C-alpha cells in the first residue's frame, strides 16, 4: 500500500509473512469461539454466544480468504458467496435465539460477560495489531482487516452490555446487543452475496 509499509492497494496477500500472520489470527479466533460459546452458555448470555459465533465465522472466513489468495476472480467470488451464506445463517440463528430470550428473560451473569468480553477484546486487538501492516490491499485482504477491526468494536459493545446488565439488573441490554449483532451479520451477508453475484455475472 502506498501509505503503509510499502504495500499497494493491489496487494493480493501473496506474502509469506501475511499468510503466517493470518494463520495466527485463525487460531486465535477458533480458540475464542470455544471459550466464548462455553462461557455464553454458562452465563446465559445471548450476546456472548452471538460474539462466539462471530469468532467462528471469522475463523472460517479467514481460512477461506487464505485459501483463495492468488486464485481467479471466479474462485474468489464463489468463496465470497459461501462467506455471505454462512453469515446469513449465523445471523438468522442469533436473531431467532434472541427472540426466544425475549420471552425467557433469565438474568445473564454480568461478571462472566464482562470478563470474557475483555478476553475477546484482547484477542481481537492482537489480531488487529498482527494485520495492521496489511490493512490495505485487494478486496480479499481489505475484508480481513475490516472484519478484525469491527470485531474489536463489537467486543466493546458486549462489555458495555455486561455493565448495563449489572447496573439495571435486567437482561434487556444483553438482548439488545445480541439483536444488533444479528443485524450486523445479516447486513454483511447481504452486501457480500450481492457483490459476489455481481462479480459472477460479469464472468459470463
Residue pLDDT, tens place only, 137-194 = 666 677 777 777 777 777 787 788 778 878 877 777 777 877 887 787 788 778 777 8
**pLDDT tens digit sequence for 9-68:** 557 677 888 899 999 999 999 999 999 888 888 877 776 777 788 788 788 888 888 888
User: CA 150 → CA 2, 30, 145, 154, 165, distances in Å?
Assistant: 23, 17, 9, 6, 23
Distance CA 66, CA 19 (A): 7
Distance CA 171, CA 175 (A): 6
pLDDT at 2: 32
pLDDT at 171: 74
pLDDT-derived band of residue 104, with 50, 70 and 90 as boundaries? low
Distance CA 17, CA 119 (A): 26
pLDDT at 105: 54
Closest CA to 155 of 183, 112, 118: 118
pLDDT at 27: 95
Q: Per DSSP, which regions of 43-99 are E strands?
A: none
pLDDT at 147: 75
**pLDDT tens digit sequence for 124-138:** 899 889 888 887 766
pLDDT at 137: 66
Query: Which of helix, strand or coil describes residue 138?
Result: coil
* Cβ burial 127-144 (10 Å sphere, 16+ → b, else e): bbebbebbbbbeebbbbb
Closest CA to 98 of 29, 174, 193: 174
Domain residue ranges in the chain: 16-201
**13 backbone dihedrals φ, ψ, rounded to 5°:** 95, 5
pLDDT at 34: 92
pLDDT-derived band of residue 4, with 50, 70 and 90 as boundaries? very low
Amino acid at each position: 500500500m502506498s501509505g503503509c509499509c510499502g504495500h499497494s492497494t493491489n496487494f493480493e496477500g501473496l506474502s509469506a509473512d501475511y499468510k503466517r500472520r493470518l494463520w495466527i489470527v485463525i487460531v486465535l479466533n477458533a480458540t475464542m469461539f470455544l471459550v466464548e460459546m462455553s462461557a455464553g452458555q454458562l452465563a446465559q448470555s445471548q450476546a456472548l454466544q452471538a460474539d462466539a459465533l462471530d469468532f467462528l465465522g471469522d475463523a472460517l472466513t479467514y481460512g477461506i480468504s487464505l485459501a483463495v489468495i492468488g486464485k481467479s476472480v471466479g474462485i474468489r467470488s464463489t468463496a465470497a458467496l459461501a462467506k455471505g451464506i454462512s453469515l446469513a445463517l449465523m445471523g438468522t440463528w442469533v436473531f431467532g435465539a434472541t427472540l426466544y430470550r425475549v420471552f425467557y428473560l433469565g438474568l445473564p451473569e454480568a461478571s462472566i460477560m464482562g470478563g470474557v468480553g475483555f478476553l475477546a477484546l484482547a484477542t481481537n486487538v492482537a489480531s488487529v495489531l498482527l494485520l495492521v501492516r496489511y490493512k490495505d490491499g485487494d478486496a480479499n485482504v481489505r475484508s480481513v482487516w475490516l472484519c478484525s477491526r469491527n470485531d474489536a468494536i463489537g467486543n466493546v459493545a458486549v462489555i458495555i452490555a455486561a455493565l448495563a446488565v449489572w447496573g439495571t439488573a435486567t437482561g434487556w441490554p444483553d438482548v439488545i446487543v445480541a439483536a444488533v449483532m444479528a443485524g450486523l451479520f445479516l447486513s454483511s451477508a447481504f452486501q457480500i452475496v450481492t457483490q459476489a453475484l455481481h462479480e459472477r455475472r460479469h464472468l459470463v
